[in-house]
Amino acid sequence: MKKPIWIKNIQQLATLASKKEGPRSKEAMSELGIIEDGSLWIEGGIIQAVGSTIELEQRYATRVNEADIVDATSHLVTPGLIDPHTHVAYGGSRAREFEMRLEGVPYMDIMNAGGGIHATTRMTRESTEEELIIQTTKRLDSFMQHGVTTVEGKSGYGMNLETELKQLRVMKHLQENHPIDLVPTFMGAHAVPPDYKGKEEEFVDHLILDMLPVVAEEKLAEFNDVFCEKGVFTPEQSERILEAGKKYGLIPKIHADEIVAYGGAELAAKVGAISAEHLLKASDEGIKAMAKSGTIACLLPATALYLREEAAEGRKMIDEGVAVAISTDCNPGSSPTTSMPLVMNLACILMRLTPAEALTAATYNAACAINRQDRIGSLEVGKQADIALWNVKNYQELQYLFGVNHLKAVWKKGIKVVG
């Protein structure tokens, strides 16, 4: 039997525990379930007890000697961070495009000229499964080094059945072989491939009739995502794809209103999407509709920064009652980062979230955005022991001392994987 782990003397333990189940909005985003001088008892990969150090010391008095003891004096402990939106399994690099964009070429122009998503699609098609596994493993390792224990990952750099399946199988392999939990999303509708230019409806049919059934049959995805954007997929096409996915049990997500206001937020509410992503240009009506439907806004401030765009109106969304999650959007074009702490800092600086809201957005609400809040996202009895230990004294410092990796250790399902 593996030894129990007792993490004690934690200067600040942010449990994120709350009595209310489900996505948190408004004031609930500031309830971090803080315990000063806290401690956690872990056994069998599961959290067995959460409380003050004194409480657990008394409760486990007869068993303290058999435990691995971690002294977290002067440290912050949080749930392992969760990244609910990435395109992590891709081939190649787009460093040259970064230079082009700095020279002034717009992101969508690069894509329309055959670069951008199309360039990565070519490189992903050319990569073998082994090559993709090696590249993606490096990124997942880096996520873990930044305190992340669960990552959602999208296909979408295939845009043909063969490569979409290749990306999804790579993610399945990594889910089985990497400590990080990788939650798969099918995103065949990431762009219209060049051979379908002018025949967009045909591509939508192909996706619905030929791709979705195979993905569902092989159980390779839980979610279905669409890039609903002017010049990519219209709201009508997006709705068709998402409704078709629902018939196979795939939960809708939408890349919405990123470059122009296009009714994406409204559509997310209409189809009952679990989350809508980006939302830089979301309309007031769209925001209200999301608050009403309970659709989570998954905001990506690093992408806004990287594209030199105004970030989404995170503050306003929270005030309007939308539950907000945040994510890296890790992808080779608009946000090649694996740092969720950076994203939390940017959520504060660019979207005026408070440090407490940013932490909720990167843990509990992020878990909700991938339908995992029953087992991760907070440190509560019975939940997975996915834990991050930080070299700072409190959660405010984690947001305030930006641009530096404060991570000290990570446990994934009770096993120490960093530190």
Among 8, 101, 255, 281, binds ligand NIG (CB under 6 A): 255
How far from chain centre, in Å, is Cα 320? 22
For helices 264-271 and 284-293, the axis angle rounded to 10 degrees is: 20
Phi, psi of 388, rounded to the nearest 5 degrees:
-115, 135
85 is in an annotated binding site: yes
Contact partners, residue 369, CB within 8 Å, separation at least 6? 23, 84, 85, 152, 274, 275, 296, 298, 325, 327
- CB 277 → ligand NIG: shortest distance, Å? 7
224 lies in the site for ligand NIG, by CB under 6 A: no
Please check whether residue 400 is in contact with residue 390, taking contact to mean a CB–CB distance below 8 angstroms.
no
332 touches which of Fe ion, ligand NIG, none (CB within 5 to 8 A by kind)?
ligand NIG
Nearer to ligand NIG, 87 or 169 (CB): 87
- In whole angstroms, how close is the CB of 327 to Fe ion at the nearest point? 8
Three-state SS across 337-356? CCCHHHHHHHHHHHHCCCHH
Show the binding pattern over residues 315-334: x = contacts Fe ion (CB under 5 A), - = does not: --------------x-----
* Identified binder of ligand NIG from the candidate list 149, 303, 363, 378, rule CB under 6 A: 303
Measure the CA–CA gap between 370 and 26, rounded to whole angstroms.
20
Task: Pick one of ligand NIG, Fe ion, none as the site partner of residue 48 (Cβ within 5 to 8 A by kind).
Answer: none
CB of 249 to ligand NIG, least distance (A): 24
Which residue in the shown chain puts its C-beta closest to Fe ion? Answer: 329
> Measured from the CB of residue 190, what is the shortest distance to Fe ion in angstroms?
8
- Of 7-15, 116-124, 132-140, 144-152, the segment contacting ligand NIG by CB under 6 A is 116-124
CB 415 within 8 A of CB 46: no
Rank residues 257 and 329 by Cβ distance to Fe ion and give the closer one.
329
Task: Assign 3-class secondary structure to 97-141.
Answer: HHHHHHCCCCHHHHHHCCCCHHHHHHHHHHCCHHHHHHHHHHHHH
Which residue, 250 or 280, has its beta carbon nearer to ligand NIG? 280
Decide if residue 152 touches Fe ion (CB under 5 A): no
- The residue sitting closest to ligand NIG, measured at its beta carbon, is 333
332 makes contact with ligand NIG (CB under 6 A): yes
Sequence-distant (≥ 6) Cβ neighbours of residue 232 within 8 angstroms: 191, 192
Is 146 in contact with 339 (CB distance < 8 Å)?
yes
* Burial class of residue 58, CB neighbours in 10 A (0-12, 13-18, 19+): exposed
Q: Is 406 annotated as a binding residue?
A: no
**360 part of the interface to ligand NIG, by CB under 6 A:** no
- Is 164 among the residues that bind ligand NIG (CB under 6 A)? no
How many residues interact with ligand NIG (rule CB under 6 A)?
13
The Cα 100–Cα 380 span in angstroms is 47
On whether 101 is known to bind a ligand per the annotation, the reply is no
Q: Is 278 annotated as a binding residue?
A: no
Q: Hey, is 263 helix, strand or coil?
A: coil
Q: Any binding-site annotation on 329?
A: yes
Please, which residues have CB within 8 angstroms of residue 272's CB and are 6 or more apart in sequence? 252, 293, 295
269, burial (CB in 10 Å: exposed 0-12, middle 13-18, buried 19+): buried
Q: Which stretch binds ligand NIG (CB under 6 A): 7-15, 204-212, 236-244, 329-337?
A: 329-337
Q: Residue 243 carries which DSSP code?
A: H
* Binding window for ligand NIG (CB under 6 A); candidates: 122-130, 166-174, 330-338, 409-417: 330-338
Quote the least distance from Cβ 205 to ligand NIG, whole Å. Answer: 22
The nearest distance, CB 119 to ligand NIG, in angstroms, is 8
For the annotated binding site for N-formimidoyl-L-glutamate, the residues are 157, 331, 333
Contact positions toward Fe ion, by CB under 5 A? Answer: 329
For the annotated binding site for Fe(3+), the residues are 85, 87, 255, 329
Contact positions toward ligand NIG, by CB under 6 A? Answer: 87, 116-117, 120, 227, 255, 258, 303, 329, 331-334
For the annotated binding site, the residues are 85, 87, 94, 157, 190, 255, 258, 329, 331, 333-334
